[in-house]
Amino acid sequence: MNFRRWLIKQRDRCDRIGGLGLLVYFDRNFPSMASWREYKNYLYECGAAEEVIEAFEAAWGEFWDWKWGETFCRWRILRNTSRALKRLVQALRRYVRGMPTRKTHFQ
């Protein structure tokens, strides 16, 4: 999810980030995929008030905390799943090694 979409989803909040989300919702020219600097330049070109710039910076920080937090959680889940699968494979190998084969069974 990009920053613009995330901001639009925040428009129902009762704080400055929600207000910025509402402004972005009605501004069709707000860039959807841009860097921090490009977003900030866009806001300055539109003549945004200092409160809007501060709201943008707070929203940007919150967005990246959310985005990296989500990525980290996915990574942890994958890492834990990988560890569990490795343990399962090791247990299966031990089980298979202990199974009698034709050679050992008929001796």
**The model's pTM:** 0.61
Reading the block at residue 23, the tokens are 């402004």
List pLDDT tens digits, range 33-80.
888 899 999 999 999 999 999 999 999 988 888 877 766 666 667 777
Find where tokens 């090791």 sit.
90
SS3 annotation, the chain: CCHHHHHHHCCCCCCHHHHHHHHHHHCCCCCCCCCHHHHHHHHHHCCCCHHHHHHHHHHHHHHHHHHHHHHHHHHHHHHHHHHHHHHHHHHHHHHHHHCCCHHHHCC
Q: Please give the residue that has the higher pLDDT: either 103 or 59.
A: 59
**Where does the pLDDT of residue 11 fall: very low under 50, low under 70, confident under 90, or very high at 90 and above?**
very high
Q: Please give the residue that has the higher pLDDT: either 83 or 46.
A: 46
User: What's the pLDDT at 44?
Assistant: 94
Give the whole-angstrom CA distance, residue 7 versus residue 24: 7
